[in-house]
Structure 1
Amino acid sequence: MIPHLPRPPLHPRLPSPVEPVADDRFHRHGVRLLLKRDDLIHPDLPGNKWRKLAPNLAAATAGGHGTLLTFGGAYSNHLRATAAAGRLLGLRTIGVVRGQELAGQPLNTSLARCADDGMRLHFVDRTTYREKRDPATLARILREVAPRDGDGGTPYVVPEGGSNAEAVRGCAELGRELQGAAGVVGVACGTGGTLAGLAAGLGEGQRALGIPVLKGGFLGDEIRTLQEAAFGGPRGDWSLDERFHCGGYGRTTPALLAFAEDFEQRHGLPVERLYVAKLLYALLTLTEEGAFAPGTRLMAVVTGTPSP
């Protein structure tokens, strides 16, 4: 279970609802599509952002930290969620943003939202950002942006995307909520934390399918490392299909955008384009390829909402 936060008022909607989708493109192959509506957990911290952040917020507050420091790109949903959590819980937040060239430029809508929620933005060059896991680089960043947090302690550091051992254990609750609900559970993957936890929480005979939204082929090792840190070893039945990133993070194609618009019109569900659309598009393609046996209950985890 995700530990209780010591300060209100987050009030998540848990467990998130499961909704069946009547879609003849799946039905003609004998596959029943269901949606795990994690996007409805919290208006400011939807989906996997809640599940990954909540354990880290609990650890930060229990440890007496008054500041959260985390990392993200210029359009990072994780930065937005961390900033919102800080506002709701009365914590200071610092966002280390990839791209020193953005410093001094007008903020995009995502970063402006972070700033409005009180996040202090610190831009670093891309080399520094790539090396952020190096202890010496992280120590230098901490000296530059937050030598002390004002409460007599150092900031609590949340990794890029929020994926660490605490987050993975939080995402295991997602799997436990879905035990027995579907044979295959699909989720879009960025840093791999959600899939690592989801697979660990699912029951016997269920498998988790990850759809990476970045190219590179590195995610399998990341997931294994996260499960080792969270559980001491591998957990659950999971796999990745790397064909649907559309060229990399933040990239889309006309075919993907047309699919997302059509899905919205068919089902009245706003579809986030960079994660959820790629997941749903992948699940339809796999269904049409015969990857799922007739009679399969196929669950798609809706991890976020479209950007405003």
Structure 2
Amino acid sequence: MFQLPHSPLELIKDPLLTPYGVNLYLKRDDLIHPEVTGNKWRKLKFNLIEARLQGYDKLLTFGGAYSNHIYATAAAGKEFGFKTVGIIRGDELTPYSNPTLRFAHEQGMELIFVTRLDYSFRNKLTKQYGDKYYVLPEGGTNHLAIKGVNEMMDEIYEVIKPDFVCSAVGTGGTLAGIVSGLRGNSKAIGFASLKGKGLLKGQIEKILPFEKDFELNEQYHFDGYAKTTPELISFIRAFEERNPSIQLEQVYTGKMMFGIYDLIKKGYFPRNTNIVAVHTGGLQGRCEELRENFVLSYAS
């Protein structure tokens, strides 16, 4: 019931990469499911199984106004028969404030809006609302989420042996799952999508099931979560022009791909290196500038 198809591993055939002699693959987790895509499905799968085993038919979780996790949990709840409640940061918001919240509301998720101060006390909110609910943490990161990402690593190793596996990083659960699933000499690089202030790596190390080294790159966050610049938008547009079957968004995957391309140009990766970049979905979060560009460029 909770099994979705494997996502393809796609070699990026980009003439910009030819001079550097590296092989860049994209793990297309954006194609797993129309709504429950990418790392959000990976994180949810074993939590949904556990919720069902414990007899829960209701899910409670947390997120901001543009949370991919809220979006995916609402969709998964509808698909697999769970009632869902989302506690949303921002008491000035409504279910129609943006496409993410509107979609979650349309999937049947009950949205409870709380002040940013109250939201910071999530343990208290869990006790207040979560007595009859299976509780998913903000971003969906827990030990079952890491187990789900491990399945993705198995899929990758069935196809190639990567030298590097790269992922965008928000709460760190996806990167923790990647790191715990590495084999041999493969290495992991996480690209922070928000300003971690030097604390993010320690947070990821805390949720790893065992000690293992990884790299966290905090140079390509473009001034913080959900923030962007004309340079990033131009990169995404140019990438999509050269790779019209692939869409990126500016919050997570676009920043990661920008970072990977920049490191390739700087000679960070040796020639003949196999790099796997994980497309973590979240395309509903594309900004209007990218949505308009895609329609103008590729509409038939």
Q: TM-score, normalised by structure 2?
A: 0.90
Sequence identity of aligned pairs in percent? 41
Is 2:115 the partner of 1:125? yes
Q: Which residue is 2:62 aligned to? A: 71
Q: Which residue is 1:256 aligned to? A: 232
Size of the aligned set, in residue pairs, is 281
Deviation at 1:181, TM superposition (A): 3.0
Consecutive unaligned residues in structure 1, runs of 5 or more: 1-7, 148-153
Deviation at 1:270, TM superposition (A): 1.3
Aligned equivalents of 1:71, 1:305: Cα separation in 2: 17
Letter in 2 for 1:258: S
Aligned equivalents of 1:238, 1:24: Cα separation in 2: 29
Equivalent residue for 1:244, pick from 220, 236, 248 = 220
Equivalent residue for 2:126, pick from 110, 114, 138 = 138
Q: Which residue is 2:10 aligned to? A: 19
Q: Which residue is 2:295 aligned to? A: none
Q: Which residue is 2:39 aligned to? A: 48
Equivalent residue for 1:115, pick from 97, 105, 109 = 105
Aligned equivalents of 1:264, 1:196: Cα separation in 2: 29
Map of 1:291-306 to 2, 5 A cutoff?
A: 291-306=268-283
Q: Which residue is 2:255 aligned to? A: 278
Is 2:198 the partner of 1:208? no
Structure 1 residue matching 2:113: 3-state secondary structure: strand
Structure 1 residue matching 2:283: 3-state secondary structure: coil
Is 2:266 the partner of 1:289? yes
Map of 1:145-184 to 2, 5 A cutoff?
A: 154-179=132-157, 180-184=160-164
Deviation at 1:248, TM superposition (A): 0.8
Q: TM-score, normalised by structure 1?
A: 0.87
Structure 1 residue matching 2:16: 3-state secondary structure: helix
User: Does the CA-based 8 Å contact 1:187-1:211 persist in structure 2?
Assistant: yes
Letter in 1 for 2:186: Q
User: Does the CA-based 8 Å contact 2:43-2:141 persist in structure 1?
Assistant: yes
Aligned equivalents of 2:125, 2:78: Cα separation in 1: 28
Consecutive unaligned residues in structure 2, runs of 5 or more: 286-300
